């Protein structure tokens, strides 16, 4: 694994059905590299984008590359938790701002 900075992908504020295609394209372009997803602006999380993110995280792990979320918003963390995807996305207690 290289020590360079990961490829940064900024997630859209609304991760809905129409965001799933562009998100998949961005992830495909970053395949084979470490990735950091900027999730601080996310206000809404839909199932289709969660499926894309879960599949991508699984693929990155299988290839031995980093796949992380940077500064996830409360809406992103809560949305993932409501759909039972926190563990699948690797969201930790620190990222969830546990108190």
Domain coordinates of the chain in residue numbers?
A: 7-89
Which bin fits 64, alpha (ψ -120 to 50), beta or left (φ > 0)? Answer: left
7-89: CATH, from 1.10.1740.10, 3.30.750.24, 3.20.20.10, 3.40.50.2030: 3.30.750.24
Cα distance between residue 2 and residue 75, in whole Å:
32
Using one digit for the tens of pLDDT, what is the confidence trace for 6-51?
A: 999 999 999 999 999 999 999 999 999 999 999 999 999 999 999 9
Tell me the pLDDT of the chain averaged across its residues. 91
Say what the pLDDT of residue 56 is: 98
Question: Which has the closest alpha carbon to 11: 64, 73, 61?
Answer: 73
- CB contact at 8 A, 94 and 31: no
């Amino acid at each position: 694994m290289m020590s360079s900075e990961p490829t940064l992908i900024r997630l859209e504020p609304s991760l809905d059905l129409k965001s799933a295609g562009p998100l998949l394209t961005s992830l495909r372009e970053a395949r084979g590299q470490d990735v950091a997803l900027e999730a601080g602006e996310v206000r809404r999380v839909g199932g289709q984008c969660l499926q894309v993110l879960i599949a991508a995280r699984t693929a990155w792990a299988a290839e031995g590359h980093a796949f992380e979320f940077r500064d996830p918003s409360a809406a992103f963390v809560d949305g993932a938790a409501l759909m039972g995807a926190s563990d699948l996305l690797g969201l930790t207690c620190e990222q969830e701002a546990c108190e």
